[in-house]
Structure 1
Amino acid sequence: MAKDKTTNYFFSCSSATGVPAIKLDPELDKRVVRKLDRNILPILTVFFFLSFLDRTNIGNARIAGLERDLGITENQYKICVTTLYVPYILSELPTNLILRFVGPRWVLPTILTMWGAITTLQGLATNFSGLVAARFFLGMVEGPMLPSIVLYLSAFYTRRELGMRIAAIFTSTSLAGAFSGLLAAAISKMDGIRGRRGWAWIFILEGLLTFLIGLSGYFLIPSTPAEARFLTEEEKGAIMARIEKDRPALLNSGRFYPREVGRALVSPHVVMIILINFFNGTTVFGLAIFLPTIVNGLGFSPIRSQLLSVGPFAAAFFVTLFASWASDRFRSRTIPLACSSTLAAIGYIVYLATDHQLTLYGSLFLTASGVYSIAPPMSAWASNNSEPHYRRATTIALASVFTDCGGILSTWLFPASTAPKYKGSIILNLTFILLLGLTAVVNGLLLRWCNKRKQDPAKRQELLAPYFQNVKGDFESDFSRTEEVNRRAWLDLGDKHPDFKYLI
C-alpha cells in the first residue's frame, strides 16, 4: 500500500511543498511589480549604463587621439582592449556564487565605485604600460556586474517578467553607445584644458560620474525583498509567494553544493545558451567598440563620426524594447532570438553588397538593432531554465563569461589593414549571427522535447521514486513529512523536476 500511495503522490502534488497551489491577489501582484519597477529597475539601469559606457569609451578615446598621444600601435591598442576581458571573465563566476552570502547591497555599489575610480585613472595614463594596467584592474571589478544583476533580479521577478526587466536594463547599452558618442564629441572640445588631451577628459569625467553614483548605491539597493524599505510586510510576503509559485526550487536552496556547478556544465540547454552568448558577444562588442571607427572609415570626420554613431544605437534601443516585450508577452525566447538574428544578418548582407556611403551607414541600423535586441531574451533564457539557485548562478555567470570570450575575439576582428569595409570581419560576424539563430531554434526544440518527456507518467515516477522509496506509512496525510521529501526532490532535481516547465 505504501508503494501505491507514493505513486499517487507523484500525480497529486500541486506545489513545491505539497500544499495546494498558491493563490495570489491580482491587484496586490500588480502593485508589487509596479513598486519593484519604480524602485529597483532605474538604479540597476544606471549601474549597467555606466558599466557599458566605461568599458567601451576607449573606442571614443581612440577617435580623439589616444593612440597618437600615447605612441601606441594598433596591436597595442587591441591588447589594451583585450586585457580588460581576461580578469573580467575570471571574476564573474566566483562573484555570482558569493552574491547571496555577501549581499547585493554591498557587492554592486562596491564594484561600481571601484571601477569608477579606475576609469578616471585611465585618463592619467602616459604610456602603453599604464593603460594596460588600468584596463586589467577595470576588468577585474567590472566583470561581475551583468551576471550579478541578472541573478539579483531573479530573486524579485517571476520567469515570465524577467525578459522585459533585463531589456529595460540592457537597452541602457544602446543609450550608452549613443550617449558616449555625444558625450565624447562634447568632451573632446576640452582638449588642452589643464594640459590634458580630449581623450583623457573622456575617461576622467565619465569615471568621476560612475564613482559618485556608486557611493549612492549603498543607500538604494536592498539585498532581498525582506530588506526593501519601500515594501510593506504584505507586499514582501506577496513577492515570496510569487517566486515560490513560479520557481519552487528557489526557496528550497539555501546551502552551496559544488555539484550544482558541474550539473550546469553538463546540461545540453546550458551548453547551447553558452554558444549563443559567445556568438552574440563577438557581434555586440565588435559593434560597440568599433562602430565609431567603421563610421569614420566611411569618410566622415572624427567629430562627425562620433555623432553619426548615435543613430544605429538609438534604433537598437527601440527594437530591443519591442523584442523583449514580445518575448515576455508571448512567453517565448526562441522566436525573438531567431527574428533578431535574421534582422542582424540582413544588415550584414546589405553592408557587404554595397559601396554606397549612405547605404553602408544605413545597414548599421539593421545590424545594431538585431545584435542588441538578442541580449535581453538571451540573458532571461539563461536564468529561466536553471534551478536551484547555485545552478542558476553558474549558468548566468557562464553565459556572461562566454559573451566576454566573444568580446575578446571581436577585439582582433577589425584590423586597420582591412579598412574601410572590414570585409573579412563582417563575413565572420554574419556567420556567427546565422549560427546564433540556428542554435536558438535547436535549443527551443530540445526544451520542447524535454517538457513533453516530463509529462510522461513513467518518466515522472522514474524521477521522483528515489525520494519516496524509503517513505513508509500514510505519508500523504502527514504534511511535515511530505513537505520535507518534496523539498529534497526540488533541491536535488532543480530544473529536471517533472513539475518544472522549461520556458521555450
Structure 2
Amino acid sequence: MKEVDHFEEFSDAEKARLEGTVWRKLDRWVLPVCTIFYLLSFLDRSNIANARVAGMQTSLKISNYQYSIALTMTYVPYIAAEFPSNLLLKYVGPRWMLPTMVTIWGLVATMQGVVKSYSGLLACRFFLGLMEGGLFPGLVLYMSFFYPRERLQIRVATFFASASLSGAFSGLLAAAIMNINGKGGRPGWAWIFIIEGMFTFVFGLIAFLVLPNSPATARFFSTKERNYVMAKLKADGAVAGDDKSDGFKWIEVIRCCQSIHVWLLAPVLFFLGTTLYGLAYFEPTIVAGLGYTGNKAQLMSAPPFAFAFVVSMITAVISDRYKCRGFMLIFFSVCNLVGFIMFYASKSNHVRYGSLFLTISGSYCGAPPVITWVANNSAPHIRRATSVAIAFIMTNSGGILATWLLGSLSPAPNYTKATITFIIMSVGMVVLSTATLAYLWHQNRLKAERRQCGTPEDEPEGLGDQSAWFIYNL
C-alpha cells in the first residue's frame, strides 16, 4: 500500500474507523509494558523503605545518617545517566535499550537481598541508580513517539500512576513476604529485595519479545494503520515531518536551554521531586511514627498510595480532554500545601495520617501533568529529549535533598524542618505554575497575532521550522 504522508489525505470515514482501532492497539501492546516497567522501577527503588521498617537498618547496623547516604548513592548515577540515555534512546532503539536496563537492574535489586554489610548495600544502590536513571525520561520520550500531544498525558499518567500503585503494592507485598521471615536462613527484609528483584529480571527478558521500536515498525499495525499513526503524529507536531529534521543538532539542545517555560518549570520539578521522593522513601517510617507497628505499619502505608492512583487516573482524563495541564498542576500543588500544613499544625495522629492522602496525591498526581506539559511544549525530537532530561534531572535532584531532610536533618516523628520546607516548596509550586500558565497563554496570543499579520515564522523563542504549527499546550 502506498505510504500516506499527510493526515488530510485520509477520508473522514477512514479517520473515524482508524481512530477507533489504532490507539486501542497501542494501549494493548505498548502502554502495559511501559506501565509495568515504571511500576517495577519505583518498587525496586523505594522498597528499601519497607525493608527498613522490616529490620534492615538494625540487621546491617547502619545509622540514620548512613541510610541517607545509601539513598543519595542511588541518585548520583541516576541523575548522571538521564541526559545521555535520552539522547541515545532513539539511536540504540528503545526495543533493545529499555528491556536491557530493566533486566540488569532486576539483577542488582535482587543482590540487595544477599548483602552482609553497609558497603555492599552502597554498591547495589549505585548500580541500581545507574541502570534505572534513563527509564522514566526514556519512557516519556518513547511514548511521545506513539501518541499525539492531546493523547499523551493519560498515557503518561497511567504508567506514572503505577508509582503510587507501587507504593500501595509494596506495603501489601512486604507484609505478605514477612511471613517467610527466616526461610533459607534469610530475614524477611532480604526476601523483599530478592522476590521483587527477580520478578523485574524475568519481566525484562519478556519485554525483548514484545516492545516495538516505533509505530513504523510495530508488527501489530496494518500498513494503513501504520501510515495513519505516522501522519497523525506529523500533523500534530509530535514528530518531525522527515527523519532529517529529527537528527541530532546541538542547536536544538541550545534552543531547549533558551526556552523560558522549561526554566519556569524546572524549580517546580525540583520541589515536586523533593516532596514525592521524601514520601516514597519515608512514608512507611512516618506511618510507623503515628503509632502503627510491625505488619500493621506496612499495611497502613498502602491506602494513601491507592487513593493517589485513583485520583491520578481521573484527573489525567480531565486534563487530556480539556487540555488543562497547568490548572491541574496548580490544583495538586494546593493539595500539597494543605496536606503539609495539616501535618505541621496538628498533633493528632489521625489528622496527620489523613494529611498523607493529600500530600501523596498532590505529589504523585502533580507529576504527570508537569512532565507532559514539558514534553508537549518541546519539539522536535532532540529538543524534547533535552527538555525531558532536564525535567528529570531536577526531579531527582529534589530526591537527593529529600533523603537528607527526612533522613537525618529533621527528626521523627514530627519532621518539623522538613515539613516547613515542604510548605515553602508547595507555595513556590503554585506561584511558578501560575507564572508558566500566564507565559504560555501570552505566547499563544502572540502567535495568533502573527498569523493574522501573515508572519507566523517570527518567533520570540527561536522555534525555527516548528514555528508555523507549534501552539503551546496549556
Give your verdict on TM over 0.5.
Answer: yes
Cα RMSD after superposing both structures: 2.1
Tell me which residue corresponds to 1:130.
Answer: 120
Which of 396, 403, 418 pairs up with 1:404?
396
Tell me which residue corresponds to 1:456.
Answer: 449
Give the match's secondary structure for 2:193. helix
Alpha-carbon separation, structure 2, partners of 1:275 and 1:351? 23
Judging changes above 3 Å, is the alpha-carbon distance between structure 1 residues 70 and 465 closer, same or farther for their aligned structure 2 residues?
Answer: closer
Deviation at 1:203, TM superposition (A): 0.7
CA contact (8 A) 1:21 1:245 kept: no
Alpha-carbon separation, structure 2, partners of 1:390 and 1:203? 36
Letter in 2 for 1:239: V
1:323-362 aligned at under 5 Å gives the runs 323-362=315-354
Which of 137, 154, 162 pairs up with 1:172?
162
Letter in 2 for 1:418: P
Tell me which residue corresponds to 2:138.
Answer: 148
Deviation at 1:102, TM superposition (A): 0.9
CA contact (8 A) 2:107 2:201 kept: yes
Letter in 2 for 1:424: K
Write out per-residue CA displacement over residues 380-424 of structure 1, whole angstroms, 9 at most, x where no aligned residue.
Answer: 111100111100000011101110000011001114662111121
Write out per-residue CA displacement over residues 323-380 of structure 1, whole angstroms, 9 at most, x where no aligned residue.
Answer: 2111111111111111111112111111122111111111111111111110111111
Judging changes above 3 Å, is the alpha-carbon distance between structure 1 residues 19 and 91 closer, same or farther for their aligned structure 2 residues?
Answer: closer
Alpha-carbon separation, structure 2, partners of 1:133 and 1:199? 18
Deviation at 1:499, TM superposition (A): 2.5
Whether 1:29 aligns to 2:22 is no
Tell me which residue corresponds to 2:270.
Answer: 278
Deviation at 1:52, TM superposition (A): 0.3
Deviation at 1:30, TM superposition (A): 2.3
Alpha-carbon separation, structure 2, partners of 1:399 and 1:23? 39
Judging changes above 3 Å, is the alpha-carbon distance between structure 1 residues 237 and 355 closer, same or farther for their aligned structure 2 residues?
Answer: same
CA contact (8 A) 1:113 1:214 kept: yes
Q: Percent identity?
A: 44
Letter in 2 for 1:453: L
CA contact (8 A) 2:110 2:193 kept: yes
Answer with 1 or 2: which has the greater Rg.
Answer: 1
Specify every segment of 5 or more residues in structure 2 that has no aligned partner in the other structure, as ranges: none
CA contact (8 A) 1:22 1:241 kept: no
Judging changes above 3 Å, is the alpha-carbon distance between structure 1 residues 218 and 18 closer, same or farther for their aligned structure 2 residues?
Answer: closer
Letter in 1 for 2:191: W
Alpha-carbon separation, structure 2, partners of 1:263 and 1:415? 38
Whether 1:501 aligns to 2:448 is no
Give the match's secondary structure for 1:250. coil
Judging changes above 3 Å, is the alpha-carbon distance between structure 1 residues 411 and 234 closer, same or farther for their aligned structure 2 residues?
Answer: same
1:104-253 aligned at under 5 Å gives the runs 104-247=94-237, 250-252=240-242, 253=245
Give the match's secondary structure for 1:84. helix
Alpha-carbon separation, structure 2, partners of 1:394 and 1:218? 26
Letter in 2 for 1:130: G
Judging changes above 3 Å, is the alpha-carbon distance between structure 1 residues 127 and 445 closer, same or farther for their aligned structure 2 residues?
Answer: same
Alpha-carbon separation, structure 2, partners of 1:54 and 1:243? 34
Letter in 2 for 1:443: T
Alpha-carbon separation, structure 2, partners of 1:398 and 1:302? 39
Deviation at 1:20, TM superposition (A): 6.5
Under a length normalisation based on structure 2, what TM-score does the superposition of the two structures give?
0.94
Which of 303, 311, 315 pairs up with 2:307?
315
Letter in 2 for 1:172: S
Runs of 4+ in 1 over 4 A off after TM superposition: 17-24, 458-463
Alpha-carbon separation, structure 1, partners of 2:453 and 2:91? 34
Alpha-carbon separation, structure 1, partners of 2:208 and 2:318? 34
Tell me which residue corresponds to 2:89.
Answer: 99
